[in-house]
Amino acid sequence: MAVVQAILDGLMIGGVYAVISIGLTLVFGVMGIVNFAQAEFLMLGMFVAYYAWAWLGLDPLLAAPLAFVVVFLLGAAMQRVLIRRVLKAPEVAQIFLTVGLLIVLENAALLMFGSSFRSVSTPYQTSSLQLGPLFVSVPYLAAFAMSVASGLALWIFLKSSWFGRAMRATAQDPMAARLMGINADRMHMLAFALGVGLTAFGGAVILPYLTASPTVGAQFVVLMFTVVVLGGLGSVAGAVVGGLAVGIIQSLSTLVFPIQLQNLVLFVVFIGVLAFRPKGLLGAAR
Amino acid sequence: MATPLLQVSGIGKRFGGLQALSNVSLTVGTGEIVGLIGPNGAGKTTLFSTLVGLYKPDSGSIRLDGRDLVGLKPHRIAAAGMVKTFQNVALFLDSSVLDNVLTGGLMRHSVEEARALARRCLERVGIGAIADKLARDLSFPERARVEVARALCTEPRILLLDEAMAALNHAEMDEFMTLLRQLREEGLTLIVVEHHMRAIMSLCERLVVLNFGQMIATGTPAEIARDPAVVEAYLGRSAA
Amino acid sequence: MNRLSPTQWLGLAALAALAIALPFAFDPRGYGIRILCLALLFAAMAQAWNIVAGLANQISLGHAAFFGIGAYTSTLLLIHFGVSPWLGMVAAAVLGGIAALLISLPTMRLRGHYFALATLAFGEVMRVIGNSWGGLTGGPVGISVPFSQPNFVLLQFRETRSYYWLMLAALILVTLVFIAIKRSRLGYRLRAIKENADAAEVIGVDTTRTKIIAAVISGALTASLGTLYAQFQFFFDPDTVFGVASVSVRMAMIAIVGGIGTAAGPVLGAFFVIPLEEVANQVFSAQAAGLSQLVFGVLLILVILVEPRGFMAIGPRIKRLLGKGDR
């Protein structure tokens, strides 16, 4: 039964992993850039939600759309000022631009918010539902539900809106997209903003059960990369599968390994997948 | 008859749902210049890439002087004496012409020896004067020659040229063909993929025609020109 | 190729004399000389990174793995078996080379972003192991090199300037290795891989073997520099020696700032970045944690945006501008 419980917990957190990683995979899919700073936008989302709670008394789940909007705008600006300049640059420039961004965001947060850990208190924080012999923690469930909702919203956006289709066209064939009158530059901006906004949204919904701090992103960097690499870098559907898989792997590994070694299991999975299935377990690039 | 230099039999290669090559066989004797022709997408470049080991064939064998090369990595096949040039010219753009060419010589020689050999190869293809230029700054005809010089610097026994003349004008093409004939005189064996029919008809004594990954004809240029299957492959394509 | 002219030899000799004499201008145990030591050490580390990243364009974000392995190897050998750190350095190089071989096997087919990701994860694996395997490494609280009377065999010196000469020798050695590789068959092959790996294979370059050899040399050198770091600092913990920002990114950044793929780049970069960081630390750390790191990050972004080929590209650029002005 412990195993079933662990799988259930894994699914719940995995749903969140999926959403925060969709942002990363979207940026790569459309622009061909791995954003090493992606996890910092999760941290920013957490802080937006934290201050919305502290100052406005807003529940983090309700503040999640706000986190999305704020970070969306920030992302659009960053794409315009920074990322756009390295899209055609050598990979080393692309890699170290986002690595630099990671360092800047983390330390700017340290300066602005201080190094202390911040958490919110919500009425449902410690409650859980019982399903026969199984328990579902309410904050996990809420975060999972919000993630599913945002994932669905993104899916509908990509499938049925003009912007969504234009963005996918840009990802598949930039040349053809341009011939069809799609402004690639604008699509890149939209993709980057949407990508980091979605990750921030994920950051906000996990605030009820995780503490925010400027360095919280570091816990998620390799995790997010594992998710997208498992699913195939650039594939949105893959990120969902990868997210659930990582959630379950992580949750199951707690049954076997001490807590510090949990990440180790992930790293090994990560390097293994990169080495043997670099296009993801599903094998579909994009 | 002695063993042919290159004996390819029953090569098949599939990419997902696309059968890029099926049951391709050909034989090339030492000192021959064989032309490989066919409509776009017929599998010519795929065949070359498979021969030099960039792709592993799903079936069939590739024998160079009797030795089976299937499954060997490209550098091993280069060491065995078979090298190809790239259709879109794959030079090391940020290196000098001389450095590009000498890299081909490192397989069998020290840097100093390879440099001397590279100079000779550049002379051979008639571009000794541009040795110190950056590959990026070259004209297309020059690039094509550097690519050939680099392949020659590996001291191959058989050289596969993939549309090496694509960027050349008529005069340059004639010069280039003179070069190829001269290389043949010096004992090199060549397989040439080319779109310019005039060039390939005058250069090669034997042609192999591919269509949809299959070999549809082989023979002298005169025979090929009369072959109904070939005519259909080409006309069928332009009619479609 | 590029044989040096007599004037250049003279200039180089003058530079060497200056470098050797420099410590006499500093307080032998002071703060200034410590910064110089660190700058030399990081220049050497950046040079080791440069072998793989600069020549073959395999951008590693995990070189801290080798560095940390080096620091722990010699220190643990000294603590438990009384092995001289000189021998420890050799052991470190061997283990660093083996680690590089092990990580190369699964990652050698990867390029660009994928390679960076895989090496990043490898560095993090080592950091997690360093933190969790407390019985061996002392865990997150760190480990101290046993202090003894200044002793050449134990690689411990009374005066900081002795370390300076040691670090200088290390930098010169690693730079000579870099130059030798660059001019050798290995160097030509690495550059061929960097520019077009398929074309390189087809003309006879064993790309897999070439990359592994370079990675092993780079890993071994980085590990031995880890030993020097341990002996210099006397105390370190997993987050420092296996750190992404503190080691992996910093050594890469130094090479990039100076000029990736060039022999002089890492030296220029280190003597710019390390003192700047120290000054930022001095000036800002009292006011706010994070500010000097912020400066570090901003600097990295600026260099990437302004001139991703670093200082070494600025000279020719100015020349070209002036040349155009003449006409």
Residue by residue, DSSP assigns C238-277 as HHHHT-IIIIIIHHHHHHHHH-TT-SSHHHHHHHHHHHHH
What average pLDDT score do residues A209-220 get?
A: 90
pLDDT in tens, B195-213: 888 888 889 989 999 999 9
H or E element that contains A76: helix A60-81
ipTM value for the complex: 0.90
Question: Residue C151: pLDDT band by 50, 70, 90 thresholds?
Answer: confident
**Are B186 and B210 in a shared domain?**
yes
User: Hey, which residues does C143 pair with through a beta bridge?
Assistant: C236
Q: Do chains B and C touch (3 or more CB pairs under 8 A)?
A: yes
Q: C252 lies in a domain?
A: no
pLDDT of res. B2 = 64
Number of domains in chain B: 2
pLDDT in tens, C51-102: 999 999 999 999 999 999 999 999 999 999 999 999 999 999 999 999 999 9
Question: Parallel, antiparallel, or unpaired for β B82-84 and B6-15?
Answer: unpaired
User: Hey, which residues does B184 pair with through a beta bridge?
Assistant: none
Q: Which residues contact B33 (CB under 8 A, 6 or more apart)?
A: B180, B181, B184, B189, B190, B191, B192, B203, B204, B205, B206
Inter-chain Cβ pairs, chain A and chain C, closer than 8 A = 140
Q: C162 lies in a domain?
A: yes
Measured between alpha carbons, how far is C154 from C173 in angstroms, rounded to an integer? 21
Whether the CB of C204 is below 8 Å from some CB of chain B: the reply is yes
The two three-digit tokens of residue A204, written as one number: 């906000």
C-alpha B128, offset from chain centre: 22
* Smallest Cα distance from A145 to chain C, Å: 30
> Residue C151 has what DSSP assignment?
B
* Smallest Cα distance from C313 to chain B, Å: 14
What domain range is B107 assigned to?
Answer: 92-155
pTM for the model stands at: 0.90
The two three-digit tokens of residue B194, written as one number: 């080319």
**Are B182 and B71 in a shared domain?**
yes
Q: Could C191 and B99 be called an inter-chain contact, meaning their C-beta atoms sit closer than 8 Å?
A: yes
Three-state DSSP state, B214 = strand
Q: C101 lies in a domain?
A: yes
Q: C4 lies in a domain?
A: no
**Are B201 and B222 in a shared domain?**
yes
B residues 63..82 contacting C (CB < 8 A): 73-75, 78-79
Q: B19 lies in a domain?
A: no
Three-state DSSP state, A225 = helix
* Smallest Cα distance from B7 to chain C, Å: 19
Three-state DSSP state, A16 = helix
Q: Could A225 and C121 be called an inter-chain contact, meaning their C-beta atoms sit closer than 8 Å?
A: yes
Closest CA to A36 of A100, A86, A91, A93: A100
Residue B1 predicted with pLDDT over 60: no
Q: How many helices (H) and strands (E) does chain A have?
A: 11, 2
Q: Which residue of B has its CA nearest to C201?
A: B75
**Are B115 and B77 in a shared domain?**
no
What domain range is C98 assigned to?
Answer: 27-242
Q: Could A104 and C301 be called an inter-chain contact, meaning their C-beta atoms sit closer than 8 Å?
A: yes
**Are B141 and B187 in a shared domain?**
no
What average pLDDT score do residues B124-134 get?
A: 90
* Smallest Cα distance from B152 to chain C, Å: 9
Q: Which residues contact A18 (CB under 8 A, 6 or more apart)?
A: A147, A151, A227, A239, A240, A241, A242, A243, A244
pLDDT in tens, A5-36: 999 999 999 999 999 999 999 999 888 889 99
Q: Could C245 and A264 be called an inter-chain contact, meaning their C-beta atoms sit closer than 8 Å?
A: no
The DSSP-derived string for B128-184 is: GGGTTSBGGG--HHHHHHHHHHHHHTT--SEEEEESTTTT--HHHHHHHHHHHHHHH
What average pLDDT score do residues C126-135 get?
A: 90
What average pLDDT score do residues B95-101 get?
A: 95
Q: C5 lies in a domain?
A: no
**Are B145 and B162 in a shared domain?**
no
**Are B228 and B178 in a shared domain?**
yes
Q: Which residue of A has its CA nearest to C58?
A: A92
Measured between alpha carbons, how far is C305 from B42 in angstroms, rounded to an integer? 45
* Smallest Cα distance from C204 to chain B, Å: 4
Q: Which chains touch B (3 or more CB pairs under 8 A)?
A: C
**Are B144 and B116 in a shared domain?**
yes
Residue B168 predicted with pLDDT over 70: yes
**Are B119 and B184 in a shared domain?**
no
Q: Which chains touch A (3 or more CB pairs under 8 A)?
A: C
Domain ranges of chain A: 16-217
Q: How many helices (H) and strands (E) does chain C have?
A: 15, 2
> Residue C31 has what DSSP assignment?
H
Q: B22 lies in a domain?
A: no
Number of domains in chain C: 1
Q: Which residues contact C45 (CB under 8 A, 6 or more apart)?
A: C63, C67, C222, C225, C247, C251, C254
Q: C55 lies in a domain?
A: yes
Q: Where do runs of H (alpha helix) occur along B40-132? A: 44-51, 74-80, 97-105, 111-124
B residues 10..29 contacting C (CB < 8 A): none
